[in-house]
Structure 1
């Protein structure tokens, strides 16, 4: 059984509701009526995904309450998990634990600049080594008790896009995506503001892609603040309620 199959098997047990969302019908909301659109936005986007690794190395994964998880990471795995916010960690028995960023502690477990790919990063790498975790399930947790949903959840600056907002991105509509269960569907362009991040400021959004680390929205995800696209805030209650229910635990 390959790692992806193991992940799906484990997650079906942990979070059946998350996999109910994998049906193609959940991505077939109709194009919004003009009357169901509100504030126009000019945004730029990055993406984040679930980092997968095997427990090992010398750096402990410690929960926010101070308890040890019994899991360990090397420098790059720990720091990449901190950056992405969620990780699947496989132990020696093949059991997968879902860990989620909880908060930054007072002391550092590791210097993330020691990982070559972050040595010259302009991000606040130093804070990543202080990460404390919480045990999660499914695809991990966002803000306000929302669950993360692949290809639906976005991290936002709440002062620009309030949590719980639904936005419509025309350039995302029609893109073919592969859901965690392997089904390929056509995206309808709607996203839900259910998460945040330390680097997500002003008109920057971060699109969550689950276990998929490729770029499913190449016309949208440019990772360049100068490469903006248009989006609008949706006011259609039917779509807002559906995406809110999908994200609420």
Structure 2
């Protein structure tokens, strides 16, 4: 899969109409941090899975229509776990697929993929995934799109959708944007997605096509290792990140 990554990057640049840039991460630290509501959160990360169409498992849309794309067991299940995938067909064209819903029947047993054989996650549900076509980096909840290094998946009962969080431990960390540019993160994140495994004080940070860990002090994938996060009330910042995530921004 790594051998086709550079080709996918080129396609991504052509497909993504609105692209994050270093100047998107220049908000100042909140001057009233001590007055803000704080939460203890633990974090994982998710990113876009990329693969070449092949194998015997069909990618089927939520309306029951076949996409004409296929996957092997591990690619299908990884895409289901991450929620979004770039799939390249034999002609070199790429389709962005997004998790739509779980169907009634299973296309594949994800335990058959060695990577997930002993997983404690609800692997069985992944094989029932039905998809929708998407654009950019995929879709979040409501009318939001996913934005690398900004979007977080949340449990809406704990963190309502549309909330902006400031995580001091992420501020000042260098990130590699999808176009290859570097930026320094300002620590702000937008609650624009969710996931079946995201419960209570667990957040999931979206890193686009970047599979490394850009925030090692934050992303520890351990519920016992929490970080401080603050709910932002500055309407200028809230409106800016909300606008960045709205699909109409394409």
**Structure 2 length normalisation: TM-score?**
0.95
Deviation at 1:9, TM superposition (A): 3.9
What is the match of residue 185 of structure 1? 183
2:107, 2:229 → 1: CA distance?
A: 40
**Structure 1 length normalisation: TM-score?**
0.95
Contact 1:58 1:74 in 2 (8 A): yes
Runs of 4+ with >6 A deviation? none
Deviation at 1:145, TM superposition (A): 1.4
2:167, 2:204 → 1: CA distance?
A: 13
* Structure 2 counterparts to residues 138-177 of structure 1, below 5 A: 138-177=136-175
Deviation at 1:12, TM superposition (A): 4.2
Q: 1:30 aligns with which of 24, 28, 31?
A: 28
Deviation at 1:33, TM superposition (A): 1.8
Contact 1:36 1:236 in 2 (8 A): no
1:15, 1:117 → 2: CA distance?
A: 30
1:91, 1:117 → 2: CA distance?
A: 24
What is the match of residue 16 of structure 1? 17
Aligned length: 245
Deviation at 1:77, TM superposition (A): 0.4
2:4, 2:57 → 1: CA distance?
A: 23
Deviation at 1:39, TM superposition (A): 1.6
Report the aligned-residue RMSD: 1.4
What is the match of residue 105 of structure 2? 107
Unaligned runs of 5+ in 2: none
Matched, 1:122 2:120: yes
What is the match of residue 214 of structure 2? 216
Measured at CA, do residues 35 and 227 of structure 1 come closer, stay the same or move farther in structure 2, by a change above 3 Å?
A: closer
Contact 1:59 1:72 in 2 (8 A): yes
1:114-141 Cα shifts (integer Å, max 9, x gaps): 1111111000000000000001111000
